[in-house]
């Protein structure tokens, strides 16, 4: 349908909780098309409705890199029903042009949602894959949570944001993820141990 302007970090609506979708109306179908058009125009992996100015519980993901591997996935009213393990990775977001920082994520997630036709489905993404991380990142957008809230090193994250002309992180939003951090550190030690053996 059309490529939309992406709502940038600093806009208050990115921090709002989005509303459930009650009916897959024409408006929702157009929203989904706009999300994909905008995602592909930006070469992104995922995009959530609040990022194009609609605070509704819808996001899209495509981890494909070309036409052959294209895999457009639509998630409406999603619920994460299982999360386990921990990984760290560099992440970015289309609402934060060119800013990447190290964040904590679950390694495995299982999500339940409706597809673009309103049909329920369950999807599991494991091993800290790009899909597993994208699901968590986009799901967060529906609750007004941004990837920087999961940062492992606040000073590093603030430095990157300020270099890109963006505001530093508001302390109120930083998430307490001690369990995830402990698991990430244990995993790192185990991996280092393996190398020594
Ligand atoms: Ni994002």
* The Cα angle at residue 101 between residues 160 and 87, in degrees rounded to 5: 165
Other CB atoms within 10 Å distance of the CB of residue 79: 12
Domain ranges in the chain? 12-196
Q: 152 with 160: CB under 8 angstroms?
A: no
Query: What is the 8-class DSSP label of residue 23?
Result: S
Kindly state the tokens that stand for 65. Answer: 């890199």
Residue from 89, 91, 96 nearest 163 by CA: 96
Among candidate residues 93, 81, 110, the one with its CA nearest the CA of residue 151: 93
**12-196 falls under which CATH superfamily?**
Peptide deformylase (3.90.45.10)
**Range scoring the smallest mean pLDDT among 27-31, 65-69, 91-95, 124-128:** 65-69
Residues whose beta carbons lie less than 5 angstroms from ion ligand 1: 93
CA gap 96, 193 in Å, rounded: 36
> Tens digit of pLDDT for each residue in 89-141?
999 999 999 999 999 999 999 999 999 999 999 999 999 999 999 999 999 99
Looking at residue 193, its pLDDT comes to 73
Q: How far is the centre of ligand 1, averaged over its atoms, from the C-alpha of 89 (Å)?
A: 14
Distance, in Å, from the CA atom of 108 to the CA atom of 123, rounded to the nearest integer, reads: 11
Catalytic residue, chosen from 138, 156, 177, 181, is 138
pTM for this entry? 0.95
d(CA 79, CA 113): 6
Check if 138 is active-site: yes
Express each pLDDT in 131-167 by its tens digit: 999 999 999 999 999 999 999 999 999 999 999 999 9
């Amino acid at each position: 349908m059309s490529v939309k302007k992406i709502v940038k970090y600093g806009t208050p609506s990115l921090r709002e909780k989005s509303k459930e979708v009650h009916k897959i109306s024409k408006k929702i179908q157009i929203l989904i098309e706009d999300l994909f058009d905008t995602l592909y125009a930006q070469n992104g992996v995922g995009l959530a409705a609040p990022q194009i100015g609609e605070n509704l519980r819808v996001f899209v993901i495509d981890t494909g890199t070309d036409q052959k591997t294209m895999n457009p996935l639509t998630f409406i009213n999603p619920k994460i029903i299982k999360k386990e393990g921990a990984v760290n990775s560099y992440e970015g977001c289309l609402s934060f042009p060119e800013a990447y920082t190290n964040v904590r994520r679950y390694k495995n997630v299982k999500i339940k949602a409706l597809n673009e036709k309103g049909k329920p489905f369950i999807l599991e993404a494991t091993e800290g894959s790009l899909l597993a991380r994208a699901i968590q990142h986009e799901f967060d957008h529906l609750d007004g949570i941004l990837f920087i809230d999961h940062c492992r090193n606040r000073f590093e994250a603030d430095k990157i944001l300020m270099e890109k002309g963006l505001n530093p992180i508001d302390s109120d939003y930083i998430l307490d993820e001690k369990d995830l951090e402990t698991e990430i550190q244990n995993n790192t030690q185990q991996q280092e141990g393996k190398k020594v053996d």
